[in-house]
Structure 1
Amino acid sequence: MTHDDAGINANILHLPFADATRSVRHVFVRDYETEAEIGVYSHEKGAHQKIRINVDLSVLEATDHHDDQLDNVVCYHDIVKGIQTILTAGHINLVETLAEKIAALALDDNRVIGVRVKVEKLEAIKEAMSVGVEIERHRRP
């Protein structure tokens, strides 16, 4: 087992998204737990399930300083509000679809050059702590 950057035992290794040589900052949302209408099976339709979402963003830093102003940075609160908007829009069949929608939301900000999204269903398989998907997407030049 490897350790992720949150210091918790995990079976995946998160690569660092911050890189001073490229003027890239790491913005993240860690272990956001909520409920969602998600799943393809009949017992999942019209029901809410517990999910956990992690989002890692590679963000280009401006050449000038952010001046301690929220408008000058990518805000993790805006990412969470965007996730909530996606989830309240209606039923989603696949965790893959939810991950792609979150990645697209993040990449809508031109300062975001890369995003990793992990979506976990916490109660789908009784014998497993969680099941889900993790994707990584980059801005196309």
Structure 2
Amino acid sequence: MLTRRIILSGLALDARVGILEHERRATQPLHIDAEFDVDITHKTDDHDIHSVLDYRSLREAIIEQCTRAHVNLLETLTEQIAQRLLADFPDISAIKLRISKPMAFSDCAAVGVEIQTRR
């Protein structure tokens, strides 16, 4: 079967995530990278956005999931996002999702979590 990979790179947003007291009081920046494998079941129509999985919808779902409520652990947030995307977008066959906290430590660019899942 033919597969298409959609890539979101460097999505930056502020979210309430973290188990430490100062993380519970304020939002902090997150950087998100995601790859979605989509099974191609029909021909792409260059004049019809509905003939492909619209990456705007993927981006909106990620942002909404990240900003809806406080989450203690990045691990939990990555799992929640992956579950939602698989539930909302049946064309997705696999997801690779990385979420990083760029402000976590002063001596490194970021710390993060990555998961991969398949249907």
TM-score (norm 1): 0.79
Could you list the runs of 4 or more consecutive aligned residues of structure 1 that deviate by over 6 angstroms after TM superposition? none
- Match in the other structure for 1:115: 95
Structure 1 unmatched ranges of 5 or more: 1-21
Q: Give CA deviations for 1:32-87 in whole Å, capped at 9, x if unaligned.
A: 0111111000110021111100110110001x312122112112111111112112
What is the aligned counterpart of 2:28 among 38, 45, 49? 49
CA RMSD of superposed structures (Å): 1.1
Task: Give, in whole Å, the separation in 2 of the partners of 1:78 and 1:102.
Answer: 13
Amino acid in structure 2 at the alignment position of 1:65: K
- Which structure carries more relative contact order (alpha carbon 8 Å, separation 6+)? 2
Structure 2 unmatched ranges of 5 or more: none
- Paired residues in the alignment total 117
Other structure's SS at 2:37 match: strand
Task: Give, in whole Å, the separation in 1 of the partners of 2:34 and 2:5.
Answer: 10
- Match in the other structure for 2:64: 85
Task: Give, in whole Å, the separation in 1 of the partners of 2:51 and 2:76.
Answer: 30
Question: Do the aligned residues in 1 keep the contact of 2:17 with 2:27 (CA within 8 Å)?
Answer: yes
TM-score (norm 2): 0.92
